[in-house]
Amino acid sequence: MPSLAGDLRGSRPLNRQPTGRHARAATEKPVAEFAGHGVPVCLPRAGATGESGGIQVQGRNAAATGQDPVAGRQRQRRRAWAWWRRRVDGPWLPREAAGELLRSRGADALPVRARRQGARHPRGRGHRRVQPLRRGAPRQLPRHDAAPREEVESRVEPGVRLLQGARPGHGAGGVRQGQGRRGARRLRRQDRVRHSEVPLRMPPDSPLAPQWYRLENVRHGGKMVLPTEVMLAVWVGTQADEAFGDAWHADAASVRGGADGVAAVQSARSKVYVTPKLWYLRINVLEAQDVVTGGFVGDKVRQHVEVFAKVQVGGMMLRTKACAMRNPTSLAWNEELVFVVAEPFEDPAVLIVEARAHPGKDEIVGRAVLPLTIFEKRLDRVAIHSQWFSLEPFGHPLRRPEATFAGRVHLRACLEGAYHVMDEPTMYVSDTRPTARQLWRPPVGVLEVGVLGAQGLTPMKTTDGRGTTDAYCVAKYGQKWVRTRTVVDSCSPRWNEQYTWEVYDPCTVLTLAMFDNCQLGKANAAAGKAVLRDQMMGKVRIRLSTLEMDKVYTNAHPLVVLHPSGVRKNGELCLAVRLTSVSLASVVCLYGKPLLPKMHYVQPFAVPQLDALRRQAMSIVAARLSRAEPPLRREVVEYMLDAGSHLWSMRRSKANFFRVTALLSGAASTARWLVDVCHWRNPVTTVLVHLLFVTLMCFPGLILPTVFLYMSMAGLWNYRRRPRRPASMDARLSCAEATHPDEIDEELDTFPTSKPNDVVRLRYDRLRSVAGRIQTVVGDVATQGERVRSLLAWRDPRATALSTALCLVTAVTLYVTPLRVVALVAGLYALRHPRFRSRMPSAAGNFFKRLPSRADTML
């Protein structure tokens, strides 16, 4: 990726190392701010030429160069006098004219110096003074005299962001907050760099070599060149630079805070995370032998003992069903237990055999510690050989050589690599590849996402009596997570960061969310010792199959989040998304292939088991990412993966009911239209329907072509109303706008609940009333189905006899009469005129309602 740069003025060859006082300062302070220019500075150790994006500094003084101090002071006086003469004689030009003259004649031919900070001139603040040419190298430009930012950024390709920022804890001009005039004077005693001349570095080019530069001391309106020199390596990089992650950003200049200042600064930086590689661990507990418990005396059973096996992997524990122990030599379970494990396999599988002689009293018989590396990795349905493992008695150290034998257990275990380990809901999954890389298909496209910024954000916290927001964005697709830097104290942050993913299936979903960073120094100081959680500000999901290929979508997506007081709109997130396909034919072929790997259909998991495994996988991912640096906190991962999607929600239940209602609304409207046709509400339409019906009955071969022709014409007609932008979160579809606050508070409650007993009792009664209505509807559906089955069940002998006779007559009639004639007569009878209709129910309906059901036999 291209970037901007320029070289330093007055450079010397890199032939000497820093010594003396400045070298010691370089070793003690690894990071500093250079002259308040907003570029990162790294001070390597003496004798080193450390590499860092931005600026690298080393220093030396006059003692190292052997210069005469007296001669140096004389030169300083002469240069100060010459500078004052040029200041008096030099002309003044407006700021814009000085900039144009500088760009037209070049920085080497026309050095420009700004007026001393705080000085005034009758012509106003918008003027600069142009100095006459002199011999020697021209002096450098301070930051406010550099070329305008528009000129700098014009040399950068679209989508490229300059690597510029200020060290946290420093104010404008690079002065540390709280230092005063003395600190400001000391920081002005530095060299100056022109942004327009900083060299361009495009990775994978090597970092620029440091060079020596003299320091200047600006004091009392004059300028003196100190005998001290500093070694710098300066360049302007972009997001592609390897130093981008370690650079100080101007937006995070106010991040500070005591002992946690370093952690706060780290939490404000951008980062790319990778989900740990997840496997399914399948353990089949077959049997155990030579297990001795306290329920046996010799070879006789003293009492009835139930024995079961438990397997624990990490924080997850599963157990088999109890096996009645009647034989002291053999126990059989033959049960399968499935876990989720992550590479590297640190936690072993611990198998424990317990015996229950009395209710509530379990005795540990023995255990076995099984490292996961001993299990075979299976990529298909090949048979796995079983193994015998010895049990150690409880109380002995693990893996003790002289441990007493306490029986053995028979297991069949393997690591499943042909499954995709689910860590997010199936409805908006972002990856469907199996665990084993050998089974991956080649990518079919590339997804490019540009996180541009946000606008109209709501203040999420209060700092120093005013509302503020420290926003950052997190994006997740497949196994790659990205986190943008934190823009401090801004309701309209700008990130301009770009990320790419490889796409293996277009029918997947990209998830983005915005959070307020509560781990910065000011927030932690205000909260004291309380543990702060990053506040969620909204979420955006984009299904890739809804995007057109090679088209850039630049839209602002609304950020909507549920709050105990109701739905809250927190602004908009501006994104630029483009999906590029490698081959359109390969993308189209994927639509005919299964969404998940083959093993999900050959040997599927049960739905409750799959939900438990998903929650376990989500817990592992959250634990691993929270240990990264900077950490991706657990609440962020849970919100991105929808950890609470399986919990009960009154709002979500209503939304799903309305979705079903909207789905059936088309069929309901068609039925109403047919009723109007049958009742001759519009005679012209009814006559046309009669003609079409008679035509199709005379030519039945036209029925299916007519249906599919109508569907194709409807698809072409709807093309002009196709969506022109990716869909965003719909608060109206989610029933979030008209939901009672108590229902939202119930949805946001923890599991198990943490509310008082009165609130829990009220919600339980409300849930009972809703469940009662659902129960009535389910009972009515079951009643109608039982009536259909009772037609031939002889529960009502007379009704069954009538239905049997009617079926016999119908069979004979259909045998002797052509089918088209029967259909034509039935259609004309259904479309008859209202004059020939009756308001009373039909005989067939009355007969069906009189059929018996099993509802009268229920308690």
| 8 Å CB contact between 361 and 373 | no
Cis status of the peptide bond prior to 459, with omega within 30 of 0: no
323, 310 Cβ separation under 8 angstroms:
no
What separation in angstroms does the CA of 800 have from each of 81, 708, 795, 843? Answer: 122, 40, 8, 16
Give residue 78's pLDDT band: very low, low, confident or very high (50, 70, 90).
Answer: confident
> Which of helix, strand or coil describes residue 355?
strand
Per-residue pLDDT, 835: 83
What is the band of 218 on the pLDDT scale with cuts at 50, 70, 90? low
Provide the pairing of β-strand 127-130 with 361-370: unpaired
Burial label for 684, CB within 10 Å (0-12, 13-18, 19+), is exposed
Q: What is the pLDDT of residue 403?
A: 52
DSSP state of 443: P
CA 250 to chain centre: 26
- The average confidence (pLDDT) of the chain is 75
Distances (CA, A) of 31 to 57, 58, 257, 258: 9, 12, 17, 17
435-640 matches 278-416 in CATH topology: yes
* Span 743-799, pLDDT tens digits: 888 888 888 888 888 888 888 888 888 888 888 888 999 999 999 998 888 989 999
DSSP 539-550: EEEEEGGGSPBT
Which CATH code of 3.40.605.10, 2.60.40.150, 3.90.1150.10, 3.40.50.150 fits the domain covering 435-640?
2.60.40.150
Please tell me what DSSP assigns to residue 154.
T
pLDDT tens for each residue of 357-367: 777 777 888 88
Read off the pLDDT band of 614 (50, 70, 90): very high
HEC readout, 579-591? EEECCHHHHHHHC
- Residues 458, 568: Cα–Cα separation, whole Å: 9
Give the separation between CA 488 and CA 471, rounded to whole angstroms: 7
Confidence check: pLDDT of 54 > 60: no
Distance set, CA 59 to CA 6, 53, 63, 93 (Å): 21, 18, 12, 36
What string of DSSP letters covers 92-143? EEEHHHHHHHHHHH-TTT--EEPPPTT---TT-TTEEEEPPP-SSSPPPP-G
Question: What confidence tens digit (pLDDT) does each residue in 334-349 have?
Answer: 899 999 999 989 889 9
Q: With a cut of 80, say whether residue 399 has pLDDT above it.
A: no
**Beta-sheet pairing, 300-301 with 296-297:** antiparallel
How many other C-beta atoms are found inside a 10 Å radius of the C-beta of residue 740?
A: 12
Q: At what angle do helices 819-830 and 683-698 cross, to 10 degrees?
A: 170
Q: Is 148 helix (H, G, I), strand (E, B) or coil?
A: coil
* Distance of alpha carbon 349 from alpha carbon 341, whole angstroms: 10
Q: What is the dihedral of CA 6, 452, 173, 224, to 10 degrees?
A: 0
Question: Which residues, in sequence order, are CB contacts of 191 under 8 Å at separation 6+?
Answer: 8, 10, 35, 140, 213, 214, 215, 216, 230, 232
Whole-angstrom Cα distance, residue 800 to residue 775?
29
Which region among 69-78, 93-102, 480-489, 682-691 has the lowest average model confidence (pLDDT)?
93-102
For 229, the token pair is 């020199």
| Residue 388: partners with Cβ closer than 8 Å, 6 or more residues away | 408, 409, 410, 411
Q: What is the pLDDT of residue 228?
A: 77
Q: Which tokens go with 182?
A: 């003395």
Tokens at 323, concatenated? 């096996």
pLDDT band at 576 (very low <50, low <70, confident <90, very high): very high
Domain ranges of the chain: 20-86+137-253, 278-416, 435-640, 647-754, 764-859
Adjacent-strand bridge partners of 463 = 466
Length of the chain: 859
Do the Cβ atoms of 784 and 849 come closer than 8 Å? no
Instruction: Compute the average pLDDT of residues 244-259.
Output: 60
Residue 145 in this model has a pLDDT that exceeds 60: no
Helix axes 650-678, 683-698, angle to 10 degrees: 90
Over 371-439, what HEC string results? CHHHCEEECCCCCCCCEEEECEECCCCCCCCCCCCCCEEEEEEEEECCCCCCCCCHHHCCCCCCCCHHH
What pLDDT, on a 0 to 100 scale, did the predictor assign at position 843? Answer: 87
Q: In whole angstroms, give the CA distance from residue 416 to residue 270.
A: 34
User: What pLDDT shows up at residue 150?
Assistant: 36
Decide: residue 325, CB within 10 A, 0-12 exposed, 13-18 middle, 19+ buried. buried
CATH topology of domain 278-416: Immunoglobulin-like (2.60.40)
d(CA 72, CA 80): 12
